[in-house]
Amino acid sequence: MSPRDCDVIVVGAGNAAFCAALAAQEKGARVVMLERAPKEESGGNSRFTAGAIRFAYRGIDDLKAVMPDLSSDEIANTDFGAYTTDQFFDDMFRVTRYRTDPGLCECLVNESFESIQWMRKKGIRFVPIYGRQAFKIDGRFKFWGGLTVEAWGGGPGLVDQQTNIAKRNGVVIRYGARVVSLVYDGHSVQGVRVKEGTGITTLRAPAVVLACGGFESNAEWRTRYLGPGWELAKVRGTRFNTGDGLQIALEIGASPYGNWSGCHAVGWDYNAPEFGDLTVGDGFQKHSYPWGIMVNALGQRFVDEGADFRNYTYAKYGRRILEQPDQFAWQIFDNKVRGLLRDEYRIKRVTKVSADTVEELADKLEGVDREGFLREVRAYNAAVRKDIPFNANVKDGRRTEGLLVPKSNWANTIDEPPFEAYQVGCGITFSFGGLRIQPESAQVLNTDLDPIPGLFAAGELVGGIFYFNYPGGTGLMSGTVFGRHAGVSAARAALIPNAQAV
Ligand SMILES: Cc1cc2nc3c(=O)[nH]c(=O)nc-3n(C[C@H](O)[C@H](O)[C@H](O)COP(=O)(O)OP(=O)(O)OC[C@H]3O[C@@H](n4cnc5c(N)ncnc54)[C@H](O)[C@@H]3O)c2cc1C
């Protein structure tokens, strides 16, 4: 047996990495996690999330298993509905235009409930997402988009809980430890080289799990793979996901897989900083566009803001904003819907103008053709089917008629002062392209499509799950499902003689 410093090395310290580490530890492996970021910035994009996590559930009894703290008042005052595996499959197929890898998608959906229960058993607390995913009708909350639960304390709460649980279970976490290459003998992976401070050392283990994110924070790779203009996008989350894990795996012959020219990207405050800011978290996003309209520099609408619930359009509309002249848009709302705007519209660092007339608003929309905008609002208002009632909880069919760019639901006229407008650019969340894994073992495959002994992967850097678009809350679940697979397989490879021969 070759010398080892531990049984399993996990690269990264986001949700996928913690799930892998805890699953490996549960099987008896001695685990070391290597996190590139310093402790105060650790946790990758997972720390930036709202902690919203998608899973299939049959009704309140399943939710009670995940949230035993639910009070009888909450249960009485809430319609949690159900979100079946069939609905989850339908959402995945629809938003990825049937390109999601069937084997990966099957694990993701079918194991989603069992995986969140496993997280709960590990000690992670969850609560209902009343603020963003439910509206009150006749005194009762109703959830609408298949996304019902978030980690207690959001992303920071999730990562802090996972860190404490991992440490309590003897998992070693080294911060400021950037993995720069794999130790590979041409057949199997036997460890990593890691840069800490100014020195590079070798850490040996028979199994390595890569859970170190995509390439969204690398402007050069964004331009190379996503296309021209993507260097101009802002990064919503961590600055540390620069594609290292992908690069070191591709260097030893791993197979690239999935939608390498695709990514998750949203409307994001136009003046947000280059990378995410943990004091603001996801507050720069502006996701209430279904209640209003979005216009570009010509004053023209360019997407169907009401094509679907926000959960099924927000991740693809960032790209559409990036494609507009000068890469920005203004979201416009009138008084009728101001009360529906999400909490992120009320943060301090927001690019916002208000006015008492549409004409005055037009003067204030920086970079926008005034006459073009006024023409667009007149045409839009005239096209709204006012005879169909507005209902934020369902796809209400209150639509426009006869416009080149339709609005299919929630079409409200823009005519009641005061008016508000918010300027957004494109904020990239994560890249979709990644490594090819065998779904059940999460073992990385080489370009001959054979498993690479000793190498496993989970989270953002797995390719083949998301194409074109993404159903909100699925990133964390993907990291959990495949993190567990990777951890269990890595422990098996490390602890069972000859298991590597798989
Ligand atoms: C603002 C925002 C909000 C979001 N909201 C949600 C949400 O509510 N629900 C949801 O499901 N998804 C959400 N997402 C997406 C979600 O964050 C990701 O899908 C998920 O967190 C990815 O987890 P991961 O563990 O694969 O990667 P990450 O959490 O990004 O972890 C990657 C880790 O690898 C480390 N790393 C990178 N390179 C190296 C290296 N060379 N050596 C060692 N370590 C390295 C990083 O420092 C980091 O710790 C959101 C994303 C953002 C940015």
Instruction: Answer whether 112 contacts ligand 1 (Cβ < 6 A).
Output: no
Query: Of 79, 73, 14, whose CA–CA distance to 48 is shortest?
Result: 14
Q: Which two tokens stand for residue 359?
A: 């004409």
| 256 has pLDDT over 50 | yes
- Please give the average per-residue pLDDT across 38-47, as a whole number: 98
Instruction: Answer whether 235 contacts ligand 1 (Cβ < 6 A).
Output: no
Instruction: Answer whether 11 contacts ligand 1 (Cβ < 6 A).
Output: yes
* Mutation pick for ligand 1 pocket among 36, 49, 116, 266 (CB with most ligand atoms within 8 Å): 49
Contact call for residues 308 and 289 (beta carbons, < 8 A): no
Instruction: Answer whether 46 contacts ligand 1 (Cβ < 6 A).
Output: yes
Instruction: Answer whether 206 contacts ligand 1 (Cβ < 6 A).
Output: no
pLDDT digits (tens, 9 = 90+) for 422-475: 999 999 999 999 999 999 999 999 999 999 999 999 999 999 999 999 999 999
Query: Of 146, 211, 19, whose CA–CA distance to 474 is shortest?
Result: 146
pLDDT digits (tens, 9 = 90+) for 339-370: 999 999 999 999 999 999 999 999 999 999 99
- Give the separation between CA 315 and CA 363, rounded to whole angstroms: 30
pLDDT digits (tens, 9 = 90+) for 79-129: 899 999 999 999 999 999 999 999 999 999 999 999 999 999 999 999 999
Q: How far is CA 176 from CA 21, 156, 198, in A?
A: 18, 19, 11
| 138 has pLDDT over 90 | no
Tell me, in angstroms, the distance from the centre of ligand 1 to residue 237's CA.
Answer: 8
Read off the pLDDT band of 231 (50, 70, 90). Answer: very high
Instruction: Answer whether 318 contacts ligand 1 (Cβ < 6 A).
Output: no
Tell me how far the alpha carbon of residue 485 is from its chain's centroid: 20
Rounded CA Rg of the chain: 23
Instruction: Answer whether 212 contacts ligand 1 (Cβ < 6 A).
Output: yes
Tell me, in angstroms, the distance from the centre of ligand 1 to residue 479's CA.
Answer: 9
- Please give the average per-residue pLDDT across 279-292, as a whole number: 95
Closest residue by Cα to atom 18, ligand 1, is: 475
Instruction: Answer whether 434 contacts ligand 1 (Cβ < 6 A).
Output: no
Query: Of 74, 147, 85, whose CA–CA distance to 113 is shortest?
Result: 85
pLDDT value for 502: 45
Percent of the chain with pLDDT over 90: 93
Instruction: Answer whether 431 contacts ligand 1 (Cβ < 6 A).
Output: no
Query: pLDDT averaged over the chain?
Result: 96
Q: In the sheet that 177-184 helps form, which strands lie side by side, from edge to edge?
A: 177-184, 189-196, 199-204
Question: DSSP of 162-177, one letter per residue?
Answer: HHHHHHHTT-EEESSE
Tell me how far the alpha carbon of residue 10 is from its chain's centroid: 21
- Please give the average per-residue pLDDT across 239-253, as a whole number: 98
Instruction: Answer whether 154 contacts ligand 1 (Cβ < 6 A).
Output: no
pLDDT value for 500: 58
| Long-range contacts of residues 88-95, Cβ cutoff 8 Å, at least 24 apart | 88/54, 88/55, 88/56, 88/112, 88/146, 88/471, 91/146, 91/312, 91/471, 92/471, 92/474, 94/312, 95/312, 95/316, 95/468, 95/469, 95/470, 95/471
Query: Of 18, 331, 2, whose CA–CA distance to 191 is shortest?
Result: 2
Instruction: Answer whether 216 contacts ligand 1 (Cβ < 6 A).
Output: no
Query: Cβ neighbours of residue 53 under 8 Å, at least 6 residues apart?
Result: 116, 126, 147, 149, 150, 151, 473, 476, 477, 480
| 194 has pLDDT over 70 | yes
Closest residue by Cα to atom 27, ligand 1, is: 213
| 283 has pLDDT over 50 | yes
φ, ψ for residue 352 (rounded to 5)? Answer: -140, 145
* Mutation pick for ligand 1 pocket among 22, 45, 278 (CB with most ligand atoms within 8 Å): 45
What is the Cβ-side half-sphere exposure of residue 256, based on CA atoms within 13 angstroms?
Answer: 14
Read off the pLDDT band of 501 (50, 70, 90). Answer: very low
Tell me how far the alpha carbon of residue 327 is from its chain's centroid: 22
Instruction: Answer whether 13 contacts ligand 1 (Cβ < 6 A).
Output: yes
pLDDT value for 72: 93
Exposed, middle or buried: residue 122 (CB in 10 Å: 0-12, 13-18, 19+)?
Answer: middle
Indicate the pTM of the whole model: 0.95
pLDDT value for 393: 86
Tell me how far the alpha carbon of residue 292 is from its chain's centroid: 24
* Mutation pick for ligand 1 pocket among 212, 250, 277 (CB with most ligand atoms within 8 Å): 212
